[in-house]
Amino acid sequence: MYDICSDMSFLPFSVSTCAKINLGLRVLRRRPDGYHDIESIFVAIDLADILHVEPNPALVVECRPEVTLAPEQNIVHKACRLYGQHFPDDNSGAKITVEKRIPTGAGLGGGSGDAAAALLAMARLNDREINETLLRELEPLAAECGSDVPFFLRGGVALVTGRGEHVAPLNITFPWTVLVVCPGIHVNTAAAYSTLGITSEYPSPNLSDAFTYAIDNNTVSADIFTNDFERAVFPQQPFLAEIKRRIQETGALFASMSGSGSSVYGLFENEANAALAAEQLADLRPYICAPVTAPFRPL
C-alpha cells in the first residue's frame, strides 16, 4: 500500500486524500475523558480533497475555501505542528495548500483525512519511508489531532472502536458503489451526543462477522448496521430523514446517515445502478463514489 509514495521524490508534490462513510455507528458509554466510545465500520471513499505540498522555511497552511477563522486553527496546521514536536530533528517547515472538495461538517471525515495526509506528507518531505513502523509512530499524533484521524493513516475498511483511535483494518474488499448526498445542513456533533444518550456499555462481539456476512450475501441489515445518531438528528432535521427515504426508493441495498451527519448515503450493487439513482436525485446533487484502499494518492 505504501509504495504510493515512491514516485514522489520530486518536490513540490500534490496528493489526493479521501473521505469515509460509517457503515453502522453505535454510541456506547461516556468515557472519563468526556468522549464516548463508539463502534463502527469505516469505509474510505474517493471523494477527495487535494493537498499541494512544497518545502518552505516556516510552516504555512492555506485552505481554499477557508474553513477556520485563522489558518493556525486548521487541523492540518495542528498535525504539522505535532509532527515537528515529535520529530524535532526533522525539517518542520512546509507550505501546504488544502484544496477543499469534501463538504465540511458532513460526517465524511474531510478534515481528519487532511490531517492524516499532512502527517504523511511531512514524513515524505523529510525522506522518511512510509511503512508500518512509521505509521505506528504517527498513530498517537493522529489521535491527538482528532478522533477519526488514525483511520485515515491507512484508509481502506476498518473496524473502529474507542473514541475512534482504535483501528482494526479488515482485509475485505468493499463491493458496493456509494452514492452520497450532502445537503449542507450543519449538525452540531456535541449537541447530537448530548441528546442521544447511549445504547450499550459494550461493543458488539461480531460486527466484523456481520459485515462479512453482508458482503457474502449482498444484503445489509438495517437493524445491525444502524447509525445511532439518526435517532437524535432526524427529529431535529426531518429533511435528512426524507433524503434517506428517497435514496431507499431508488433501489439502494442500504441507506444511512454518515457520522453525526449531515450527509446521507446509499449502497448500490454497481456504478450503473448508482448512476440511475443519481438521476432521480439530481436536485440533491449527489456524488457517486468508489471505495479506496490507500490513505492518499499522488497526483
pLDDT digits (tens, 9 = 90+) for 166-188: 999 999 999 999 999 999 887 77
Would you give the DSSP letter of residue 73? G
Cβ-based neighbours of 89, under 8 Å, separated by 6 or more: none
State the pLDDT confidence band at 197, using cuts at 50, 70 and 90. low
Global pTM? 0.92
Per-residue pLDDT tens digits for 230-263 = 998 999 899 999 999 999 999 999 999 999 989 9
Specify the pLDDT at position 184. Answer: 87
**Res 69: pLDDT:** 73
- Coil, strand or helix at 27: strand
Cα 76 → chain centroid: 15
Q: Which residue has the higher pLDDT, 127 or 9?
A: 127
- Determine what percent of the chain is predicted with pLDDT higher than 90: 75
Rounded distance between C-alpha atoms, residue 288 and residue 292, angstroms:
13
Distance CA 223, CA 212 (A): 16
The per-residue pLDDT for 272 is 98
Residue 183: burial class (beta carbons within 10 Å; 0-12, 13-18, 19+): middle
Question: What pLDDT does 208 receive?
Answer: 92
Active-site hit among 78, 148, 228, 244 = 148
Least confident of 22-31, 208-217, 234-243: 22-31
Q: How far apart are the first and last CA of the chain?
A: 16
Note if 148 is an active site residue: yes
Per-position b or e across 227-255, b if 16+ CB within 10 A of its CB:
bbbbebbbeebeebeebbebbeebebbbb
Residue closest to 295 by CA, chosen among 165, 173, 159, 153: 153
* Domains located in the chain, CATH noted: 2-169 (3.30.230.10), 177-289 (3.30.70.890)
State the number of CA atoms in the 13 A half-sphere of 247 facing the CB. 29
pLDDT at 71 over 80: no
Which long-range contacts (C-beta less than 8 Å, at least 24 apart) are formed by 129-135? 129/2, 130/2, 130/5, 131/2
Q: Extract the C-alpha cell encoding 256.
A: 444511512
| 11-15, 18-22, 150-154, range with the lowest pLDDT | 11-15
Measured distance CA(13)–CA(116) in Å, rounded: 16
Cell of 197: 444518550
Would you say 260 and 233 are in contact if contact means Cβ atoms under 8 Å apart?
yes
- Arithmetic mean of pLDDT, 124-137: 93
Q: At residue 5, does pLDDT exceed 60?
A: no
Segment 267-272 shows an average pLDDT of: 98
What's the mean pLDDT when you consider all of the chain? Answer: 90
Give buried/exposed letters for 10-44 (b at 16+ CB in 10 A, else e). eeebbbbbbbbbbbbbbbbeeeeeeebbbbbbbbb
More confident residue, 50 or 147: 50
> Given pLDDT bands bounded at 50, 70 and 90, which one contains residue 6?
very low
Residue 175 C-alpha from the chain's centroid: 18
Q: How far apart are CA 144 and CA 146, in angstroms?
A: 6
Checking if the pLDDT of 2 tops 60, the result is no
Check whether 123 has a pLDDT greater than 90.
Answer: yes
